[in-house]
Each structure stands twice: as C-alpha cells, then as structure tokens.
C-alpha cells in the first residue's frame, strides 16, 4: 500500500510537469524511479521504454502502467496511471471551463518561451542515453540516426520504422 501511494505521488508530480507532450516525462521517470528510488535498473528501464514505444496508445499512460505494474502489480499500474493522468485532466477542464484566453496571456507566453527550449533538452538527453545503452557496433550505429532522420525530415510514420526494425531483426537473426 505504501508503495502504491508513493507511485501515485511520484506520477502525480511527473504528470504535473510533463510539458510539451509525453516524451518530456522520460527524464523525470528515469530520475525518480531509476536514480532516486532505484526500483528498477537502467537497463530494465530502456527495455521497458522499447516495449512501450513499440505498442500503440498514449505513451505517457503506457509508461505509467508498465512502470507501476513492474513495481507493484495491478494496483501499482492503476496508481501510476491515475497519477500521470489526473493533473492534465483537471487543468484542461479548468481551462475549458473558465479561461480559454489563457493562451493569449502575456506572462504565460513569456514563461513558456523559457520552458520550451528546456523541454527540447529534456527529450534530447534520454534519446542520447538510450542510444548509448543500445550497445551499437559499426554495423548498427546508423540505425537510430537514420530512423530519426526519416521521421524528422521525410515525415515517415514511426509505425513503419518499428515494423521494418522488427522484421529486420527476425530475418537477420534467422539467417
């Protein structure tokens, strides 16, 4: 029970700070669960992210469910998911009810001008850490960069990257 409450609190915090889309939570989950609480190892963490990313659905919710389940079973998954979802639900609800002009507020705009470049760094850092942890050799070194380039510049849907990578793995390992 204690752990579930902790999981809920941790993901509530993360949910409240996940600005600029779900990926921003990667750094925070890693910091809280791997580095502070040491509930799972870094290797396990990247393995989980790989599985979560391969599946469809809301990335942040998938991540919360998986981390929660791994640490404390079904109750843990529920606690983490509620924690991750509740802040965004209520904040958007309040904005939809009362201040739609929120986005035109000049102070808010200034604050977010500062936050956005920071969020870019918070997504870039785990991406590089994950590349480092993937044990690439000279034959596989190009994969993350080619995948990123295809999505970023050629607007290839991530689903194709995942399918090609999975097929490639199955075929090459079979030979």
Partner 1 sequence: MEYLYLAYVFFKIGLFGFGGGYAMISLIQDEVVNNHHWMNAQTFADVLAISQMTPGPISINTATYVGFNVGGLLGAIISTFCLCLPSILMMYFVIRFLFKKKGNPTIKRLIDDLKPAIAGLILSAALIMMTKENFSDAGIEECNISVIICIAAFICTFFLKINPMILISAAGLIGFFVF
Rounded (10°) angle between helices 59-97 and 42-54: 70
Q: Which of residues 54-93 bind partner 1 (CB under 8 A)?
A: 54-62, 65-66, 69, 77, 81, 85, 87-89, 91-93
Q: Least CB distance from residue 133 to partner 1, whole Å?
A: 8
Question: Using CB under 8 A, which of 5, 9, 41, 148 touches partner 1?
Answer: 148
Rounded (10°) angle between helices 106-133 and 42-54: 110
User: What whole-number distance in Å separates Cα of residue 173 and Cα of residue 57?
Assistant: 28
User: What whole-number distance in Å separates Cα of residue 36 and Cα of residue 30?
Assistant: 9
**Nearest Cα to Cα of residue 67 among 92, 44, 95:** 44
Q: Least CB distance from residue 142 to partner 1, whole Å?
A: 9
Q: Annotate each residue in 19-48 with x if it binds partner 1 (CB under 8 A) or - if it does not, as one string.
A: xxxxxx-xxx--x---x----------xx-
**Nearest Cα to Cα of residue 116 among 20, 16, 21, 9:** 20
Q: Least CB distance from residue 143 to partner 1, whole Å?
A: 4
Q: Which of residues 117-146 bind partner 1 (CB under 8 A)?
A: 117-131, 133-136, 140, 143-146
User: What whole-number distance in Å separates Cα of residue 7 and Cα of residue 32?
Assistant: 10
Q: Least CB distance from residue 146 to partner 1, whole Å?
A: 7
Q: Least CB distance from residue 77 to partner 1, whole Å?
A: 7
User: What whole-number distance in Å separates Cα of residue 159 and Cα of residue 39?
Assistant: 30
Q: Annotate each residue in 92-111 with x if it binds partner 1 (CB under 8 A) or - if it does not, as one string.
A: xx-xxx--x-xx---xx-xx
CB nearer partner 1, residue 7 or residue 28 = 28
């Amino acid at each position: 029970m204690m752990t579930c409450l902790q999981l809920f609190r941790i993901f509530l915090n993360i949910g409240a700070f996940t600005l600029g889309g779900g990926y921003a939570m990667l750094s925070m989950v890693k910091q809280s669960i791997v580095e502070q609480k040491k509930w799972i190892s870094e290797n396990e963490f990247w393995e989980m992210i790989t599985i979560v990313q391969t599946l469809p659905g809301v990335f942040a919710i998938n991540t919360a469910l998986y981390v929660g389940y791994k640490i404390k079973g079904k109750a843990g998954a529920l606690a983490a998911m509620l924690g991750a979802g509740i802040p965004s639900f209520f904040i958007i609800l309040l904005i939809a009810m009362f201040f739609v002009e929120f986005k035109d507020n000049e102070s808010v705009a200034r604050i977010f001008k500062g936050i956005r470049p920071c969020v870019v760094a918070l997504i870039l850092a785990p991406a590089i850490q994950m590349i480092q942890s993937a044990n690439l050799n000279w034959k596989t070194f190009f994969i993350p960069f080619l995948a990123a380039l295809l999505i970023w510049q050629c607007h290839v849907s991530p689903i194709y990257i995942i399918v090609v990578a999975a097929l490639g793995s199955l075929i090459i390992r079979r030979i």
